[in-house]
Amino acid sequence: MNNPSKKISLFGSTGSIGCNSLIVIDSLNSNGYDISVKYLTTNTKIDILAGQIKKYSPAGVVIQDNDAYNEFRSKYDFKGLEVLQGKKGLMEIAERDDHDFLINALVGFSGLEPTIKAIQSNKDIALANKETLVVAGKIITSLTNKFNTRIFPIDSEHSAILQCLQGEDKKNIRRLILTASGGPFLNKTTEEMKNTSVEDALSHPNWKMGKKITIDSATMMNKGLEVIEAKWLFDMESEKIDVVIHPESIIHSMVEFIDGSIKAQLGIPDMKIPIQYSLTHPGRISSGYPKMDFTKFSSLRFEEPDLEKFKCLKIAYEVLKEEGTYPAVMNAANEIAVDLFLKGKIRFTEIPEIIEYNLNNHNNTDDYSLEDIIETDSQIRNQILRKYND
Q: Kindly list the residues in this chain that would bind Mn ion in the complex (CB under 5 A).
A: 155-157
Shorter beta-carbon distance to Mn ion: residue 157 or 256: 157
What span, in angstroms and rounded, lies between the C-alpha atoms of 245 and 97? 43
Shorter beta-carbon distance to Mn ion: residue 90 or 279: 279
Angle of the 46-56 helix axis to the 16-29 helix axis, nearest 10: 10
Shorter beta-carbon distance to Mn ion: residue 92 or 157: 157
* Omega of the bond leading into 290 within 30 degrees of 0 (cis): no
User: At closest approach, how far in Å is the CB of 155 from Mn ion?
Assistant: 4
| Helix/strand/coil (H/E/C) assignment for every residue in 239-288 | HHEEEEECCCCCEEEEEEECCCCEEEEECCCCCHHHHHHHHHCCCCCCCC
CA-based radius of gyration for the chain: 20
Query: Closest residue (Cβ) to Mn ion?
Result: 155
Shorter beta-carbon distance to Mn ion: residue 113 or 157: 157
Shorter beta-carbon distance to Mn ion: residue 157 or 335: 157
User: At closest approach, how far in Å is the CB of 180 from Mn ion?
Assistant: 9
User: At closest approach, how far in Å is the CB of 288 from Mn ion?
Assistant: 23
Q: What is residue 345's DSSP assignment?
A: S
Shorter beta-carbon distance to Mn ion: residue 49 or 107: 107
User: At closest approach, how far in Å is the CB of 222 from Mn ion?
Assistant: 6
User: At closest approach, how far in Å is the CB of 217 from Mn ion?
Assistant: 8
User: At closest approach, how far in Å is the CB of 111 from Mn ion?
Assistant: 15
Phi, then psi, of 42 in degrees rounded to 5: -140, 160
Q: Is 353 helix (H, G, I), strand (E, B) or coil?
A: helix
| Residues 139, 232 contacting (CB under 8 angstroms) | no
| Residues 249, 207 contacting (CB under 8 angstroms) | yes
